[in-house]
């Protein structure tokens, strides 16, 4: 909606500013919940920054492949264009390897990562809103928003505010998991599993009104919906497995 913020005559990409804010939010959340889990804060700090860089790379690589970006365009991260699932896959691998390297309990780390990711992702989607990426399909409903010509999103037509819808859904999910955390999680890995279920369902439904990813011919679903459905299925199996331990 506002791709640039002007400060003292200097135009700064709003996407980058909100991305930094999301990173800071995620960092503070990781520190807070790692202390509640009794984990070594210094190790979690190191793992967080390595995971952040890995996720950023993965998100950009997947976006570049999906949109056929040139190498020069690939480097302009501040202009927007990150694929969440690409970042998630890279981050997941990094967390598993990092937990083994630092000899940290994997499922406790996963719980910290899951709830922190929901909070950071809710802030991160606001950067998409400002840049106009990850936009929705055209709509005649009152919730439709019109982006300015300088945005990534098509201008001049009302679109579903999918960025705000996802940001809201993520924040509600964070509040629910935070409440469960305070009541006492039943076992290690429960919070992470519930995160996968919550976001998997949320993203599956949102894809029906997102205007970015085309449907798979003959199937009517996007690749993101296939991945989201897989997240939910994996999480249910994980819940049953961890509950029986």
Give the start-to-end residue ranges of the domains of the chain: 4-243
pLDDT in tens, the chain (245 residues): 565 666 666 666 677 788 889 999 999 999 999 999 999 999 999 999 999 999 988 888 887 877 777 777 777 666 667 788 889 999 999 999 999 999 999 999 999 999 999 999 999 998 888 888 889 999 999 999 998 887 888 888 999 999 999 999 999 999 999 999 988 888 999 999 999 999 999 999 999 999 888 788 888 898 899 999 999 999 999 999 887 66
3-state helix, strand, coil in the chain (%, to 5): 65, 5, 25
- Indicate the angle between helix axes 223-243 and 190-206, nearest 10 degrees: 160
Note if the pTM is more than 0.85: yes
Is residue 183 part of an annotated ligand binding site? Answer: no
């Amino acid at each position: 909606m506002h791709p640039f913020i002007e400060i003292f005559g200097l135009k700064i990409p709003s996407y980058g500013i909100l991305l930094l804010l999301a990173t800071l939010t995620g960092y503070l959340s990781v520190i807070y919940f790692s202390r509640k889990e009794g984990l070594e804060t210094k190790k979690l700090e190191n793992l967080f920054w390595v995971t952040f860089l890995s996720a950023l790379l993965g998100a950009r690589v997947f976006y570049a492949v999906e949109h056929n970006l040139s190498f020069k365009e690939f480097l302009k991260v501040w202009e927007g264009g990150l694929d969440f699932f690409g970042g998630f896959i890279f981050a997941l691998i990094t967390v598993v390897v990092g937990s083994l390297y630092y000899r940290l309990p994997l499922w406790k780390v996963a719980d910290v990562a899951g709830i922190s990711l929901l909070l950071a992702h809710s802030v991160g989607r606001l950067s998409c809103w400002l840049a106009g990426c990850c936009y929705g399909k055209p709509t005649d409903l009152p919730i439709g928003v019109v982006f300015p010509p300088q945005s990534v999103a098509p201008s001049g037509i009302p679109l579903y505010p999918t960025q705000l819808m996802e940001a809201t859904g993520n924040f509600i999910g964070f509040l629910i998991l935070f409440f469960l955390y305070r009541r006492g999680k039943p076992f290690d890995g429960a919070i992470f599993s519930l995160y996968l279920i919550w976001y998997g369902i949320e993203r599956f439904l949102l894809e029906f009104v997102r205007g970015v990813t085309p449907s798979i011919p003959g199937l009517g679903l996007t690749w993101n919906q296939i991945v989201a459905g897989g997240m939910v299925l994996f999480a249910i199996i994980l819940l049953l497995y961890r509950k029986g331990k």
